[in-house]
Structure 1
Amino acid sequence: MHLVSVITVNYNQPEVTEALLQSVISKNDYQAIQMIVVDNGSDQNPVTNWKIKFPWVHFVRSEKNLGFAAGNNLGIREATGDYLFLINNDTEVTPGLIGRLANQLEQHPQIGIISPKIKYFDTPDVIQYAGFTSMNYYSARNECIGQFEKDNGQYDHLTGKTGFAHGAAMMVRKCALRKAGLMPEQFFLYYEELDWCDHFKRAGYEIWVDTQAVIYHKESVSTGKNSMLKTYFMNRNRMLYIRRNAPFFKQVIFYLHFLFLVTPRNLIAYLRENNLAYVRIMFRSIWWNFTNPTSSQYLGYPTEMK
C-alpha cells in the first residue's frame, strides 16, 4: 500500500478546513495517509488550536498569503508519500476516494495527475467536473465536461485520459512531479493547474480523470463568484498561461483575440454597470503581462483587492 500525502491549504477559513478534516476522519477508509494542512497567512493563526484538536495532522504555517500554488508547494515539500493528493479545503471526501485514485496510479504508471469526479456539495446530484476538453490556444478556452448537469452516470465511461486535472482535487505521482517541477507560483490564483498539467504532459505523463471516484466541493467559498480578485487573476493568468504554453503563432492569434475582442467587450460591460474599479483591474491585469517575464514569481496582489 502506497503512502498518500493529503495536502490542503487554509486561508482565513478555519471552520471550512475543520469540516474537511472531520470528513477525512469519518469517511476515508484508506489507512496509509499523511495529512498536511498549510495555513497560508491567515489573519488569526489557527495552528496552535489545531495541533490540540487534530494531533495526527502535520501543520505548516506561512506568515503571509503566498497564493494557491505556493501554499500547496509548501505542503508538497513536507510530503513523504509516493502519491500526493492536493485538495481544496472546501471539499469533503467520500469512502473509497483516496484508495481508488491511488490504485489507478499504481496500475497505470503513465499517469502523472489524476482527478476524481467533482460534484457540488450543496447540490450533490449535480456535477462540477468530469474531465476537461483540450485547450484551444487561439482563445485560451476549453470546456469542463459535465458541469451543472445532473449526474445520471452519463460520464462514468470517460475514466481515462482527459485534457486537464481540476485544481480542487488532484492526486499526483511524486516521481512525475520531480520531472515536471513544482506548481507554478507566479500564477498566485487560477490557471496554475492547467499550466502544471501541460508541464506534466511535456515530461511524458498523462492526465486522467476517474469518474468512479467522487469528491464534493463547496464552490467559491474562498473568493466569491464575482470579485475584483477573481477578475484580476482570471484575466492576468489567462494571458500568462498562453505566454508560457502556446506556440508563437497561436500566441499572436490569442493576443489579437483577447486585446481586440474580449477586452473591449468586458470594458463596455463594466462601463454600462458604472463599475470603474473593474475597468482599472482589467487594465492592470493586461499591463502585468507586458511588465513581467513568464518565469517571474508574483507573491502578492494589489492592496485594494485584499
Structure 2
Amino acid sequence: MATARPPISVVIPTYHALRYLPACLSAVQAQLRPYDEIVLVDNHSRDRAGAWVRAHLPAVRVLDRPYNAGFAGGVNAGIAVARGDLILLINDDALAEPGCVEALWQALAMSPAAGWAAGVLTFSRQPNIIAGAGIRFQADGIATDRDLGLPVSALPSQPQPVFGASGGLALLRRSMLDDIGLFADFFSYLEDADLAWRARLRGWECVLAPHARARHVYSATAGVASPLKQRLLGRNRLRMIIRCLPTPLLVACLPSILAYDGMVLAYAALRRQPALIAGRLMALAEVPTLLRQRRVIQDRRTATIPALARWIEPPAGPLTTWRLQRRLARLTQPATT
C-alpha cells in the first residue's frame, strides 16, 4: 500500500528574479495537491516580485522581508510560517520538470531513516548535463555538487544515499529540522552543506531522487565567480569546517584543508582577487563565536566517527578541479545570437 503523502510547503526565497518566477511557480504549482502550499519569500526585491505574484498568482503566500536576508534567511523565514510536514525547497531560477515533486516524495517515503531527499539540478540550456545531484564532501574541506558536469544518463535508476542535498532542490522532513535546527545564518552558499553535516551528526540520512529534476540557471543571483560569491564561499567554508567537523575528523583532514587554503591564497595574490582572502579573514575574526557554536553542535552528536568518516571523499586534486572549473565556465556562458 502506498504511503499517504503529508502536506508539502514549498518555500522559495527570491531576490531580483521576477524574470524567472512565473515559470518556476507555474511548474511547481502544477505538481501540488489541494492541501499543499507555496510560500514565496521576497528578500526586498527591487523588481517588485512579491507584488507581481500577489496580483497574478493569489494562491501563493507572499512573505515580504524588509531587507535582503540571503538564501538562508529567506528560507528560514519561509519555514517559520509554513504549515506543511514536508518542506520543498527550490531556487527561484529553477524549472521543475514534470514528476519532480512526486519523485522526491517517493524517494523519501522509501527511506524512513532519511530526513531529506535531494533532487537533481541540470543546466538550464543543457538539461542533459548535471549541475548537481546532491552534495559531496572532500577531505580538503570542499563541499561541492555531486556529479557536476556528468550526463544525466550517469544517474542511478533508483534512489541512493548521498551525503546531503542542495538547497536548490530538496524535500525535507520538518521532524529533522525540529531536531537539528534551521539553516545557519550564512546569507548564501554552503548553508546546505552545514545543514548536511548537522543532520549527519544526529544520524539523519539523505537520499538522492534521481528522477526529480529541475533546470537551473547556474549562479544567476551572484554570478559564477563574482567577488561576492568568492567572499561568501571563503567565509562560509571555514564556518562550516569549524562548526561541524568532529575533532578526530578535523585532525585527520587538517593537512589537506591547510594545503587547499594555501593554494587558494597564493592564487588570490597572484591573480589579484582579494575577495578570496577577505572571506577567510572574516571567518577567522569570528573564531570565538564559531567555537561556542561548535561546542553546542558537537555535544549533540549521536553518529559514530566511522559512520561519518565514510562520507569524506579524497580531494579531487588541482588539475581535476581546474578542468572542472573550465568546463563549468563553458556550460554557464551566456547564450549568443
Conserved in 1, the CA contact under 8 Å of 2:9 and 2:86?
A: yes
Equivalent residues in 2 for 1:225-264, closer than 5 Å: 225-252=224-251, 254=253, 257-259=256-258, 261-264=259-262
Aligned twin of 2:22: 18
Aligned twin of 2:267: 269
> 1:271, 1:241 → 2: CA distance?
24
Q: CA RMSD in A?
A: 2.4
> 2:41, 2:132 → 1: CA distance?
25
> 2:197, 2:272 → 1: CA distance?
38
1:157 deviation in Å?
3.5
Residue of structure 1 aligned with 2:75, choices 66, 72, 77: 72
Conserved in 2, the CA contact under 8 Å of 1:190 and 1:233?
A: yes
Aligned twin of 1:304: none
Matched to 2:151, the amino acid is K
Aligned twin of 1:103: 106
Aligned positions, number? 289
Change (3 A) 1:267 1:61: same
TM-score (norm 1): 0.85
TM-score (norm 2): 0.77
Matched to 2:290, the amino acid is P
> 1:294, 1:66 → 2: CA distance?
24
Counterpart of 1:2 in 2: which secondary structure? coil
Aligned twin of 1:120: 123
Change (3 A) 1:253 1:205: closer
> 1:175, 1:44 → 2: CA distance?
35
Query: CA deviation digits over 1:116-144, x for unaligned, max 9?
Result: 222111101111223444x34x4213563
Equivalent residues in 2 for 1:41-80, closer than 5 Å: 41-80=44-83
Conserved in 2, the CA contact under 8 Å of 1:116 and 1:170?
A: yes
Counterpart of 1:35 in 2: which secondary structure? strand
> 1:279, 1:212 → 2: CA distance?
36
Query: CA deviation digits over 1:215-261, x for unaligned, max 9?
Result: 211111011011111111111111111111112244356555445x3
Equivalent residues in 2 for 1:71-90, closer than 5 Å: 71-90=74-93
Change (3 A) 1:142 1:46: closer
Answer yes or no: is 1:180 the counterpart of 2:176: no
> 1:2, 1:282 → 2: CA distance?
40
Change (3 A) 1:101 1:295: farther
Change (3 A) 1:279 1:247: closer
Conserved in 1, the CA contact under 8 Å of 2:142 and 2:237?
A: no
Counterpart of 1:293 in 2: which secondary structure? helix
**Any stretches of 5+ residues in structure 2 without a counterpart?**
294-337
Counterpart of 1:148 in 2: which secondary structure? coil
> 2:144, 2:70 → 1: CA distance?
25
Conserved in 2, the CA contact under 8 Å of 1:236 and 1:288?
A: no
Aligned twin of 2:145: 144
Conserved in 2, the CA contact under 8 Å of 1:7 and 1:75?
A: yes
Conserved in 2, the CA contact under 8 Å of 1:232 and 1:284?
A: no
Aligned twin of 1:290: 287
Change (3 A) 1:160 1:139: same
Change (3 A) 1:31 1:217: farther
Moved more, 247-256 or 53-62: 247-256
1:282 deviation in Å?
4.6
Change (3 A) 1:294 1:169: farther
Change (3 A) 1:264 1:105: closer
> 2:211, 2:15 → 1: CA distance?
30
Change (3 A) 1:139 1:100: same
> 1:188, 1:290 → 2: CA distance?
18
1:206 deviation in Å?
1.0
Aligned twin of 1:215: 214
Moved more, 70-79 or 139-148: 139-148
